[in-house]
Structure 1
Amino acid sequence: MSNTVAIDLPGYAKVVYRYGRPVVLIVALLMSIPGEVHLAEVAGWDHVQVWALGTLNVAWGMPVCVSVYAACSAVIADVAKRLSLPNRKSAVAGAVAALALALTAQDVSHWIKADYMGTSWVLVGAVSSIPPLVAFHMLHMAAAPESTESVVEIEDPADEEGGDDVAKRPGRKGKPGRPGLSEAEVKKAIENLKTAGTEVTPENLGQILNRAPRTARRYLAMIERAERKARAEQKAATEPQQSGALQLSI
Protein backbone atom coordinates (compact mmCIF):
# COMPACT_ATOMS: atom_id res chain seq x y z
CA MET A 1 0.00 0.00 0.00
CA SER A 2 1.48 3.34 -1.06
CA ASN A 3 1.55 6.47 1.07
CA THR A 4 0.16 9.85 0.00
CA VAL A 5 1.69 13.21 0.85
CA ALA A 6 -0.15 16.54 0.91
CA ILE A 7 1.85 19.33 -0.74
CA ASP A 8 1.30 22.91 0.41
CA LEU A 9 2.08 25.18 -2.54
CA PRO A 10 3.51 28.68 -1.90
CA GLY A 11 1.21 31.64 -2.36
CA TYR A 12 2.47 32.73 -5.79
CA ALA A 13 2.18 29.17 -7.10
CA LYS A 14 -1.44 28.97 -5.93
CA VAL A 15 -2.22 32.25 -7.70
CA VAL A 16 -0.61 31.04 -10.94
CA TYR A 17 -2.35 27.66 -10.68
CA ARG A 18 -5.78 29.15 -10.02
CA TYR A 19 -5.78 32.29 -12.19
CA GLY A 20 -2.95 31.75 -14.67
CA ARG A 21 -4.64 29.03 -16.67
CA PRO A 22 -7.89 30.89 -17.47
CA VAL A 23 -5.93 34.06 -18.32
CA VAL A 24 -3.69 32.17 -20.74
CA LEU A 25 -6.70 30.43 -22.29
CA ILE A 26 -8.61 33.68 -22.80
CA VAL A 27 -5.61 35.50 -24.30
CA ALA A 28 -4.83 32.58 -26.61
CA LEU A 29 -8.43 32.50 -27.83
CA LEU A 30 -8.43 36.26 -28.41
CA MET A 31 -5.19 36.07 -30.41
CA SER A 32 -6.68 33.30 -32.55
CA ILE A 33 -9.73 35.32 -33.54
CA PRO A 34 -8.24 37.54 -36.34
CA GLY A 35 -6.70 34.65 -38.27
CA GLU A 36 -9.81 32.49 -38.11
CA VAL A 37 -12.11 35.38 -39.07
CA HIS A 38 -9.87 36.20 -42.02
CA LEU A 39 -9.86 32.59 -43.17
CA ALA A 40 -13.67 32.49 -42.99
CA GLU A 41 -13.91 35.71 -45.03
CA VAL A 42 -11.58 34.24 -47.67
CA ALA A 43 -13.92 31.24 -47.95
CA GLY A 44 -16.95 33.50 -48.36
CA TRP A 45 -18.30 33.53 -44.79
CA ASP A 46 -18.50 37.30 -44.65
CA HIS A 47 -21.79 39.16 -45.02
CA VAL A 48 -24.93 37.07 -45.13
CA GLN A 49 -28.56 38.19 -45.19
CA VAL A 50 -30.25 36.65 -42.12
CA TRP A 51 -34.02 37.22 -42.40
CA ALA A 52 -35.19 40.25 -40.39
CA LEU A 53 -31.80 40.67 -38.72
CA GLY A 54 -30.33 42.16 -41.85
CA THR A 55 -26.82 41.57 -43.10
CA LEU A 56 -24.50 39.90 -40.60
CA ASN A 57 -20.79 39.15 -40.76
CA VAL A 58 -21.00 35.46 -39.85
CA ALA A 59 -17.24 35.09 -40.29
CA TRP A 60 -16.95 36.11 -36.63
CA GLY A 61 -18.46 32.75 -35.75
CA MET A 62 -15.46 30.84 -37.11
CA PRO A 63 -13.37 31.28 -33.90
CA VAL A 64 -16.16 29.51 -32.02
CA CYS A 65 -16.09 26.66 -34.54
CA VAL A 66 -12.31 26.31 -34.31
CA SER A 67 -10.58 27.57 -31.14
CA VAL A 68 -13.53 27.33 -28.73
CA TYR A 69 -14.41 23.94 -30.24
CA ALA A 70 -10.85 22.76 -29.62
CA ALA A 71 -11.03 23.90 -25.98
CA CYS A 72 -14.43 22.23 -25.46
CA SER A 73 -13.26 19.01 -27.09
CA ALA A 74 -10.21 18.87 -24.83
CA VAL A 75 -12.35 19.27 -21.69
CA ILE A 76 -14.97 16.75 -22.88
CA ALA A 77 -12.24 14.26 -23.78
CA ASP A 78 -10.68 14.57 -20.33
CA VAL A 79 -14.03 14.14 -18.55
CA ALA A 80 -15.04 11.22 -20.78
CA LYS A 81 -11.73 9.48 -20.08
CA ARG A 82 -11.95 10.02 -16.31
CA LEU A 83 -15.54 8.76 -16.09
CA SER A 84 -15.13 5.97 -18.68
CA LEU A 85 -18.00 7.29 -20.78
CA PRO A 86 -18.92 5.32 -23.91
CA ASN A 87 -17.96 8.22 -26.22
CA ARG A 88 -14.46 8.70 -24.78
CA LYS A 89 -12.66 7.45 -27.93
CA SER A 90 -14.65 9.80 -30.13
CA ALA A 91 -14.02 12.68 -27.71
CA VAL A 92 -10.25 12.09 -27.71
CA ALA A 93 -10.17 11.81 -31.51
CA GLY A 94 -12.23 14.98 -31.77
CA ALA A 95 -9.89 16.84 -29.40
CA VAL A 96 -6.85 15.88 -31.49
CA ALA A 97 -8.63 16.82 -34.73
CA ALA A 98 -9.79 20.12 -33.23
CA LEU A 99 -6.25 21.02 -32.19
CA ALA A 100 -4.93 20.17 -35.66
CA LEU A 101 -7.74 22.25 -37.19
CA ALA A 102 -6.96 25.26 -35.00
CA LEU A 103 -3.25 25.10 -35.84
CA THR A 104 -3.89 24.69 -39.57
CA ALA A 105 -6.38 27.56 -39.63
CA GLN A 106 -3.87 29.95 -38.08
CA ASP A 107 -1.05 28.89 -40.39
CA VAL A 108 -3.10 29.10 -43.59
CA SER A 109 -4.55 32.48 -42.67
CA HIS A 110 -1.14 34.01 -42.01
CA TRP A 111 0.32 32.42 -45.17
CA ILE A 112 -2.40 34.10 -47.22
CA LYS A 113 -1.85 37.46 -45.50
CA ALA A 114 1.90 37.23 -46.10
CA ASP A 115 1.34 36.32 -49.78
CA TYR A 116 3.00 32.93 -49.37
CA MET A 117 -0.08 31.26 -50.85
CA GLY A 118 -3.41 32.15 -52.38
CA THR A 119 -6.92 30.85 -52.03
CA SER A 120 -8.24 27.89 -54.05
CA TRP A 121 -11.40 25.85 -54.44
CA VAL A 122 -9.90 23.20 -52.15
CA LEU A 123 -9.30 25.73 -49.38
CA VAL A 124 -12.76 27.27 -49.78
CA GLY A 125 -14.37 23.83 -49.64
CA ALA A 126 -12.39 22.78 -46.58
CA VAL A 127 -13.16 25.96 -44.64
CA SER A 128 -16.83 25.84 -45.63
CA SER A 129 -17.16 22.31 -44.22
CA ILE A 130 -15.87 23.27 -40.75
CA PRO A 131 -19.15 24.51 -39.14
CA PRO A 132 -21.29 21.47 -40.10
CA LEU A 133 -18.57 19.01 -39.08
CA VAL A 134 -18.12 20.77 -35.73
CA ALA A 135 -21.89 20.77 -35.14
CA PHE A 136 -22.11 17.05 -35.97
CA HIS A 137 -19.29 16.08 -33.62
CA MET A 138 -20.58 18.20 -30.72
CA LEU A 139 -24.04 16.62 -31.07
CA HIS A 140 -22.44 13.18 -31.15
CA MET A 141 -20.55 13.82 -27.90
CA ALA A 142 -23.63 15.34 -26.28
CA ALA A 143 -25.49 12.06 -26.81
CA ALA A 144 -23.64 10.40 -23.87
CA PRO A 145 -25.79 9.29 -20.90
CA GLU A 146 -25.91 11.55 -17.82
CA SER A 147 -24.84 8.75 -15.47
CA THR A 148 -21.39 7.27 -15.77
CA GLU A 149 -20.72 3.73 -16.86
CA SER A 150 -19.38 2.76 -13.45
CA VAL A 151 -22.57 3.81 -11.66
CA VAL A 152 -24.90 2.18 -14.17
CA GLU A 153 -23.25 -1.20 -14.53
CA ILE A 154 -21.68 -1.82 -11.15
CA GLU A 155 -22.89 -4.81 -9.15
CA ASP A 156 -20.07 -5.93 -6.91
CA PRO A 157 -16.45 -4.69 -6.78
CA ALA A 158 -15.35 -8.24 -6.05
CA ASP A 159 -16.35 -9.15 -9.61
CA GLU A 160 -13.68 -6.79 -10.93
CA GLU A 161 -11.07 -8.35 -8.67
CA GLY A 162 -11.79 -11.81 -10.05
CA GLY A 163 -12.40 -13.36 -6.63
CA ASP A 164 -13.04 -17.04 -5.97
CA ASP A 165 -16.79 -16.47 -5.89
CA VAL A 166 -16.69 -15.41 -9.53
CA ALA A 167 -15.38 -18.76 -10.66
CA LYS A 168 -17.93 -20.67 -8.56
CA ARG A 169 -21.04 -18.92 -9.92
CA PRO A 170 -22.89 -20.91 -12.61
CA GLY A 171 -22.70 -19.41 -16.05
CA ARG A 172 -19.74 -17.16 -15.12
CA LYS A 173 -16.24 -17.61 -16.45
CA GLY A 174 -13.31 -16.28 -14.51
CA LYS A 175 -10.06 -17.13 -12.84
CA PRO A 176 -9.53 -17.02 -9.08
CA GLY A 177 -7.72 -13.85 -8.05
CA ARG A 178 -7.44 -11.40 -5.20
CA PRO A 179 -10.52 -11.24 -2.95
CA GLY A 180 -12.53 -8.04 -2.94
CA LEU A 181 -11.98 -5.47 -0.21
CA SER A 182 -14.50 -4.94 2.55
CA GLU A 183 -16.51 -1.75 2.96
CA ALA A 184 -14.57 -0.92 6.12
CA GLU A 185 -11.24 -1.17 4.29
CA VAL A 186 -12.43 1.11 1.51
CA LYS A 187 -13.82 3.68 3.98
CA LYS A 188 -10.53 3.66 5.88
CA ALA A 189 -8.62 4.33 2.65
CA ILE A 190 -10.97 7.20 1.81
CA GLU A 191 -10.48 8.70 5.27
CA ASN A 192 -6.71 8.44 4.82
CA LEU A 193 -6.96 10.39 1.56
CA LYS A 194 -9.09 13.09 3.19
CA THR A 195 -6.75 13.32 6.18
CA ALA A 196 -3.78 13.76 3.84
CA GLY A 197 -5.63 16.52 1.99
CA THR A 198 -5.74 14.48 -1.21
CA GLU A 199 -8.76 14.57 -3.51
CA VAL A 200 -10.80 11.37 -3.43
CA THR A 201 -10.66 10.24 -7.06
CA PRO A 202 -10.62 6.75 -8.60
CA GLU A 203 -6.96 7.22 -9.49
CA ASN A 204 -5.89 8.27 -5.96
CA LEU A 205 -8.07 5.66 -4.26
CA GLY A 206 -6.79 2.95 -6.60
CA GLN A 207 -3.22 3.92 -5.77
CA ILE A 208 -3.71 3.64 -2.03
CA LEU A 209 -5.72 0.41 -2.39
CA ASN A 210 -3.27 -1.06 -4.90
CA ARG A 211 -6.11 -1.52 -7.36
CA ALA A 212 -6.87 -0.32 -10.87
CA PRO A 213 -8.72 3.04 -11.19
CA ARG A 214 -11.70 1.27 -12.72
CA THR A 215 -11.95 -1.02 -9.71
CA ALA A 216 -11.55 1.93 -7.34
CA ARG A 217 -14.38 3.69 -9.16
CA ARG A 218 -16.59 0.69 -8.44
CA TYR A 219 -15.65 0.81 -4.77
CA LEU A 220 -16.56 4.51 -4.64
CA ALA A 221 -19.95 3.71 -6.16
CA MET A 222 -20.42 0.94 -3.59
CA ILE A 223 -19.73 3.34 -0.71
CA GLU A 224 -22.05 5.95 -2.21
CA ARG A 225 -24.89 3.41 -2.45
CA ALA A 226 -24.32 2.31 1.14
CA GLU A 227 -24.41 5.92 2.35
CA ARG A 228 -27.60 6.66 0.41
CA LYS A 229 -29.22 3.57 1.90
CA ALA A 230 -28.17 4.57 5.41
CA ARG A 231 -29.56 8.08 4.95
CA ALA A 232 -32.85 6.69 3.64
CA GLU A 233 -33.16 4.32 6.60
CA GLN A 234 -32.37 7.11 9.05
CA LYS A 235 -34.95 9.36 7.43
CA ALA A 236 -37.57 6.61 7.54
CA ALA A 237 -36.82 6.00 11.23
CA THR A 238 -37.10 9.66 12.22
CA GLU A 239 -40.27 10.46 10.29
CA PRO A 240 -42.62 8.39 12.56
CA GLN A 241 -41.10 10.02 15.65
CA GLN A 242 -41.64 13.49 14.22
CA SER A 243 -45.20 12.61 13.24
CA GLY A 244 -45.97 11.34 16.76
CA ALA A 245 -44.51 14.46 18.33
CA LEU A 246 -46.66 16.61 16.04
CA GLN A 247 -49.84 14.76 17.02
CA LEU A 248 -48.98 15.08 20.71
CA SER A 249 -48.49 18.83 20.47
CA ILE A 250 -51.85 19.22 18.74
Structure 2
Amino acid sequence: MSSSATPWYIKGILYVALPAACIAALYLSIPGEVALARTAGWSEHYAPAMPICLSVYALSAGAIATYRRKMSLPGQVTALVGSLMALLLAMAAQSISHLIAQDYMGTSAALVVAVSCVPPLTIAHLVHMAETPTAVKTASQEIAELRDMNQALMTALVAAESRSLTSHASHVLVEVERLSETVEGLSEEAQEITEEIETSLKEETAPRPRRKALALTREKVEEVRRSLTAKGEKPTVEKVCGALGISQATYYRHLSAA
Protein backbone atom coordinates (compact mmCIF):
# COMPACT_ATOMS: atom_id res chain seq x y z
CA MET A 1 0.00 0.00 0.00
CA SER A 2 1.40 3.37 -1.04
CA SER A 3 1.92 6.09 1.52
CA SER A 4 2.00 9.89 1.12
CA ALA A 5 4.41 10.35 4.05
CA THR A 6 7.69 12.07 3.17
CA PRO A 7 10.64 9.62 3.26
CA TRP A 8 13.25 10.19 5.96
CA TYR A 9 16.04 10.97 3.51
CA ILE A 10 13.94 13.68 1.81
CA LYS A 11 13.30 15.21 5.21
CA GLY A 12 17.04 15.07 5.87
CA ILE A 13 17.73 16.93 2.66
CA LEU A 14 15.11 19.57 3.40
CA TYR A 15 16.03 20.19 7.02
CA VAL A 16 19.80 19.49 6.98
CA ALA A 17 21.37 19.44 3.52
CA LEU A 18 19.70 22.56 2.15
CA PRO A 19 20.55 24.79 5.13
CA ALA A 20 24.09 23.43 5.17
CA ALA A 21 24.51 24.15 1.45
CA CYS A 22 23.16 27.69 1.85
CA ILE A 23 25.50 28.38 4.77
CA ALA A 24 28.45 26.98 2.83
CA ALA A 25 27.57 29.06 -0.23
CA LEU A 26 27.31 32.20 1.85
CA TYR A 27 30.60 31.40 3.54
CA LEU A 28 32.36 30.85 0.21
CA SER A 29 30.97 34.14 -1.11
CA ILE A 30 32.45 36.17 1.72
CA PRO A 31 36.06 36.50 0.47
CA GLY A 32 35.22 37.51 -3.09
CA GLU A 33 32.51 40.00 -2.08
CA VAL A 34 34.74 41.50 0.62
CA ALA A 35 37.57 41.82 -1.90
CA LEU A 36 35.22 43.48 -4.40
CA ALA A 37 34.10 45.96 -1.75
CA ARG A 38 37.72 46.82 -0.97
CA THR A 39 38.43 47.29 -4.66
CA ALA A 40 35.48 49.68 -4.94
CA GLY A 41 36.92 51.79 -2.14
CA TRP A 42 35.34 50.55 1.09
CA SER A 43 37.65 50.28 4.07
CA GLU A 44 38.49 47.18 6.08
CA HIS A 45 35.82 48.17 8.59
CA TYR A 46 32.91 48.30 6.11
CA ALA A 47 33.93 45.80 3.43
CA PRO A 48 32.72 42.67 5.36
CA ALA A 49 29.13 43.94 5.06
CA MET A 50 29.12 43.32 1.29
CA PRO A 51 28.41 39.55 1.61
CA ILE A 52 25.32 40.31 3.68
CA CYS A 53 24.23 42.92 1.15
CA LEU A 54 24.56 40.58 -1.85
CA SER A 55 24.22 36.97 -0.76
CA VAL A 56 21.58 37.44 1.95
CA TYR A 57 19.69 39.80 -0.35
CA ALA A 58 19.62 37.15 -3.08
CA LEU A 59 18.41 34.54 -0.61
CA SER A 60 15.71 36.84 0.79
CA ALA A 61 14.43 37.94 -2.61
CA GLY A 62 14.21 34.33 -3.84
CA ALA A 63 12.32 33.21 -0.74
CA ILE A 64 9.88 36.13 -0.97
CA ALA A 65 9.28 35.54 -4.68
CA THR A 66 8.58 31.84 -4.07
CA TYR A 67 6.19 32.59 -1.20
CA ARG A 68 4.22 35.18 -3.17
CA ARG A 69 3.89 32.85 -6.15
CA LYS A 70 2.70 30.01 -3.92
CA MET A 71 0.15 32.20 -2.07
CA SER A 72 -0.91 34.10 -5.23
CA LEU A 73 -0.01 37.40 -3.59
CA PRO A 74 0.65 40.68 -5.46
CA GLY A 75 4.20 41.74 -6.26
CA GLN A 76 5.30 38.37 -7.67
CA VAL A 77 6.97 39.87 -10.75
CA THR A 78 9.01 42.48 -8.89
CA ALA A 79 10.09 39.92 -6.30
CA LEU A 80 11.15 37.50 -9.04
CA VAL A 81 13.04 40.21 -10.93
CA GLY A 82 14.72 41.31 -7.72
CA SER A 83 15.77 37.78 -6.82
CA LEU A 84 17.27 37.28 -10.31
CA MET A 85 19.08 40.61 -10.13
CA ALA A 86 20.40 39.76 -6.66
CA LEU A 87 21.62 36.40 -7.93
CA LEU A 88 23.30 38.04 -10.92
CA LEU A 89 24.96 40.64 -8.69
CA ALA A 90 26.24 37.95 -6.33
CA MET A 91 27.57 35.91 -9.27
CA ALA A 92 29.12 38.97 -10.88
CA ALA A 93 30.72 40.03 -7.62
CA GLN A 94 32.36 36.65 -7.22
CA SER A 95 33.52 36.54 -10.83
CA ILE A 96 34.85 40.10 -10.88
CA SER A 97 36.64 39.75 -7.55
CA HIS A 98 38.33 36.55 -8.72
CA LEU A 99 39.29 38.08 -12.07
CA ILE A 100 40.87 41.02 -10.27
CA ALA A 101 42.61 38.73 -7.78
CA GLN A 102 44.10 36.67 -10.67
CA ASP A 103 45.15 39.81 -12.57
CA TYR A 104 42.82 39.12 -15.49
CA MET A 105 41.30 42.58 -15.12
CA GLY A 106 41.75 45.70 -13.06
CA THR A 107 39.45 48.11 -11.36
CA SER A 108 37.78 50.96 -13.22
CA ALA A 109 35.52 53.91 -12.63
CA ALA A 110 32.51 52.04 -14.01
CA LEU A 111 33.17 49.12 -11.68
CA VAL A 112 33.48 51.43 -8.67
CA VAL A 113 30.20 53.18 -9.56
CA ALA A 114 28.40 49.89 -10.13
CA VAL A 115 29.56 48.35 -6.86
CA SER A 116 28.77 51.59 -4.97
CA CYS A 117 25.16 51.45 -6.25
CA VAL A 118 24.58 47.95 -4.86
CA PRO A 119 23.67 48.94 -1.23
CA PRO A 120 21.05 51.62 -2.05
CA LEU A 121 19.47 49.45 -4.74
CA THR A 122 19.35 46.52 -2.34
CA ILE A 123 17.71 48.62 0.38
CA ALA A 124 15.16 50.07 -2.08
CA HIS A 125 14.08 46.69 -3.37
CA LEU A 126 13.97 45.05 0.07
CA VAL A 127 11.81 47.89 1.40
CA HIS A 128 9.50 47.48 -1.59
CA MET A 129 9.15 43.73 -1.03
CA ALA A 130 8.68 44.18 2.71
CA GLU A 131 6.02 46.86 2.23
CA THR A 132 3.77 44.99 -0.17
CA PRO A 133 2.86 42.02 2.07
CA THR A 134 1.72 44.36 4.84
CA ALA A 135 -1.16 45.36 2.63
CA VAL A 136 -2.04 41.72 1.93
CA LYS A 137 -4.61 40.08 4.12
CA THR A 138 -4.01 36.66 5.54
CA ALA A 139 -6.40 33.82 4.93
CA SER A 140 -7.71 33.98 8.51
CA GLN A 141 -8.36 37.73 8.14
CA GLU A 142 -10.22 37.19 4.88
CA ILE A 143 -12.27 34.39 6.44
CA ALA A 144 -13.08 36.62 9.41
CA GLU A 145 -14.10 39.46 7.10
CA LEU A 146 -16.22 37.13 4.99
CA ARG A 147 -17.85 35.81 8.16
CA ASP A 148 -18.58 39.36 9.31
CA MET A 149 -19.95 40.26 5.89
CA ASN A 150 -22.10 37.14 5.91
CA GLN A 151 -23.45 37.96 9.35
CA ALA A 152 -24.13 41.56 8.35
CA LEU A 153 -25.88 40.37 5.19
CA MET A 154 -27.98 37.85 7.12
CA THR A 155 -28.87 40.53 9.67
CA ALA A 156 -29.91 42.92 6.89
CA LEU A 157 -31.97 40.21 5.18
CA VAL A 158 -33.68 39.24 8.45
CA ALA A 159 -34.41 42.91 9.19
CA ALA A 160 -35.81 43.47 5.70
CA GLU A 161 -37.91 40.31 5.92
CA SER A 162 -39.16 41.36 9.37
CA ARG A 163 -40.16 44.76 8.04
CA SER A 164 -41.92 43.13 5.11
CA LEU A 165 -43.76 40.70 7.38
CA THR A 166 -44.70 43.52 9.74
CA SER A 167 -46.06 45.54 6.84
CA HIS A 168 -48.04 42.56 5.54
CA ALA A 169 -49.34 41.88 9.04
CA SER A 170 -50.47 45.50 9.38
CA HIS A 171 -52.30 45.30 6.06
CA VAL A 172 -53.91 42.03 7.11
CA LEU A 173 -55.03 43.54 10.42
CA VAL A 174 -56.52 46.54 8.60
CA GLU A 175 -58.31 44.21 6.20
CA VAL A 176 -59.57 42.07 9.08
CA GLU A 177 -60.89 45.15 10.87
CA ARG A 178 -62.62 46.31 7.70
CA LEU A 179 -64.17 42.89 7.17
CA SER A 180 -65.26 42.83 10.81
CA GLU A 181 -66.97 46.17 10.40
CA THR A 182 -68.62 44.91 7.21
CA VAL A 183 -69.77 41.73 8.97
CA GLU A 184 -71.14 43.76 11.87
CA GLY A 185 -73.01 46.00 9.43
CA LEU A 186 -74.43 42.97 7.61
CA SER A 187 -75.40 41.40 10.93
CA GLU A 188 -77.25 44.56 11.94
CA GLU A 189 -79.01 44.69 8.57
CA ALA A 190 -79.90 41.00 8.85
CA GLN A 191 -81.24 41.62 12.34
CA GLU A 192 -83.34 44.50 11.12
CA ILE A 193 -84.66 42.46 8.20
CA THR A 194 -85.43 39.56 10.56
CA GLU A 195 -87.30 41.88 12.88
CA GLU A 196 -89.24 43.34 9.97
CA ILE A 197 -90.10 39.84 8.72
CA GLU A 198 -91.21 38.76 12.21
CA THR A 199 -93.30 41.88 12.59
CA SER A 200 -94.85 41.34 9.17
CA LEU A 201 -95.61 37.69 9.99
CA LYS A 202 -97.18 38.68 13.28
CA GLU A 203 -99.36 41.25 11.54
CA GLU A 204 -100.44 38.72 8.91
CA THR A 205 -101.16 35.94 11.41
CA ALA A 206 -102.82 38.22 13.93
CA PRO A 207 -106.63 37.86 14.17
CA ARG A 208 -108.77 40.45 12.44
CA PRO A 209 -109.83 43.30 14.61
CA ARG A 210 -112.83 42.30 16.61
CA ARG A 211 -114.22 45.76 16.00
CA LYS A 212 -115.17 44.91 12.45
CA ALA A 213 -116.17 41.37 13.32
CA LEU A 214 -118.47 42.55 16.10
CA ALA A 215 -119.84 45.36 14.08
CA LEU A 216 -120.57 43.09 11.16
CA THR A 217 -123.97 41.77 12.30
CA ARG A 218 -127.18 41.34 10.48
CA GLU A 219 -128.58 44.44 12.15
CA LYS A 220 -125.61 46.51 10.84
CA VAL A 221 -126.04 45.11 7.37
CA GLU A 222 -129.78 45.77 7.43
CA GLU A 223 -129.17 49.29 8.64
CA VAL A 224 -126.80 49.91 5.71
CA ARG A 225 -129.31 48.42 3.28
CA ARG A 226 -132.10 50.62 4.61
CA SER A 227 -129.87 53.61 4.34
CA LEU A 228 -129.05 52.78 0.73
CA THR A 229 -132.72 52.12 -0.07
CA ALA A 230 -133.67 55.43 1.52
CA LYS A 231 -131.23 57.12 -0.77
CA GLY A 232 -132.79 55.44 -3.76
CA GLU A 233 -129.86 53.12 -4.34
CA LYS A 234 -129.97 49.39 -4.75
CA PRO A 235 -128.43 47.70 -1.66
CA THR A 236 -126.05 45.36 -3.41
CA VAL A 237 -123.30 43.43 -1.60
CA GLU A 238 -120.69 45.59 -3.24
CA LYS A 239 -122.28 48.82 -2.02
CA VAL A 240 -122.90 47.39 1.44
CA CYS A 241 -119.20 46.29 1.69
CA GLY A 242 -118.11 49.73 0.45
CA ALA A 243 -120.24 51.45 3.07
CA LEU A 244 -118.90 49.15 5.80
CA GLY A 245 -115.26 49.40 4.54
CA ILE A 246 -114.73 45.65 4.23
CA SER A 247 -114.10 43.16 1.46
CA GLN A 248 -116.77 40.90 0.09
CA ALA A 249 -114.88 37.86 1.43
CA THR A 250 -114.98 39.36 4.90
CA TYR A 251 -118.64 40.15 4.43
CA TYR A 252 -119.59 36.60 3.54
CA ARG A 253 -117.28 35.07 6.20
CA HIS A 254 -118.53 37.14 9.11
CA LEU A 255 -122.12 37.26 7.95
CA SER A 256 -122.33 33.50 7.74
CA ALA A 257 -120.68 33.23 11.17
CA ALA A 258 -123.15 35.70 12.60
TM-score, normalising length from structure 1?
Answer: 0.53
Deviations 1:190-218 (A, max 9, x none): xxxxxxxxxxxxxxxxxxxxxxxxxxxxx
Partner of 1:119: 107
User: Greater CA deviation, 84-93 or 133-142?
Assistant: 84-93
| Residue type at the aligned position of 2:54 | V
Q: How many residues align?
A: 150
Residue 147 (structure 1) shift: 5.7
Give runs of aligned pairs for residues 150-189 of structure 1, distance below 5 A: 151=139
* Structure 1 stretches of 4+ moved >4 Å: 149-152, 221-226
- Measure, in 2, the Cα distance between the counterparts of 1:10 and 1:150: 31
Give per-residue Cα distances to partners, 1:147-183, cap 9 Å, x unaligned. Answer: 636859x9xxxxxxxxxxxxxxxxxxxxxxxxxxxxx
Does 2:109 correspond to 1:109?
no
Higher helix share: 2
What is the match of residue 20 of structure 1? 17
- Residue 84 of structure 1 contacts residue 150 of structure 1 at CA under 8 Å; is this kept in 2? no
Shift of 1:17: 2.4
Q: Which amino acid aligns with 1:35?
A: G
The answer on whether the counterparts of 1:87 and 1:141 sit within 8 Å (CA) in structure 2 is: yes
In structure 2, runs of 5+ residues without a counterpart are 152-258
Cα distance 1:39–1:59, how it changes in 2: closer, same or farther (>3 A)?
same
Q: 1:64 and 1:84, CA in 2 relative to 1: closer, same or farther beyond 3 A?
A: same
User: Secondary structure at 1:28's aligned position in 2?
Assistant: helix
How far does residue 40 in structure 1 lie from its aligned partner after superposition? 0.2
Tell me the amino acid that sits aligned with residue 52 of structure 2. V
Partner residue of 2:32? 35
Please, what is the CA RMSD of the aligned residues?
3.0
Percent identical pairs in the alignment equals 42
Report the CA distance between 1:18 and its aligned residue: 1.7
Change (3 A) 1:93 1:149: farther
Counterpart of 1:142 in structure 2 is 130
Q: 2:110, 2:101 → 1: CA distance?
A: 18
Q: Residue 87 of structure 2 corresponds to which residue in structure 1? A: 99
Post-superposition offset of 1:89: 1.3
Q: How does 1:1-250 map to 2 (within 5 A)?
A: 6-47=3-44, 57-146=45-134, 148=136, 151=139
For 2:133 and 2:10, how far apart are their aligned partners in 1? 37
CA displacement at 1:79 relative to structure 2: 1.2
CA distance in 2, matches of 1:10, 1:140: 38
The structure-2 alpha-carbon separation of the partners of 1:12 and 1:134, relative to structure 1 and needing over 3 Å to count, comes to same
Report the alpha carbon displacement of residue 222 of structure 1 after superposing the two structures with TM: 5.4
Structure 2 CA distance for partners of 1:34 and 1:144, relative to 1, 3 Å: same
Instruction: In structure 1, list runs of 5 or more residues that go unmatched.
Output: 48-56, 155-220, 231-250
- What CA distance in whole angstroms lies between the structure 2 residues aligned with 1:12 and 1:151? 32
Q: Relative contact order, CA 8 A, sep 6+: which one is greater? A: 1
**Cα drift, residue 82 of structure 1:** 1.8
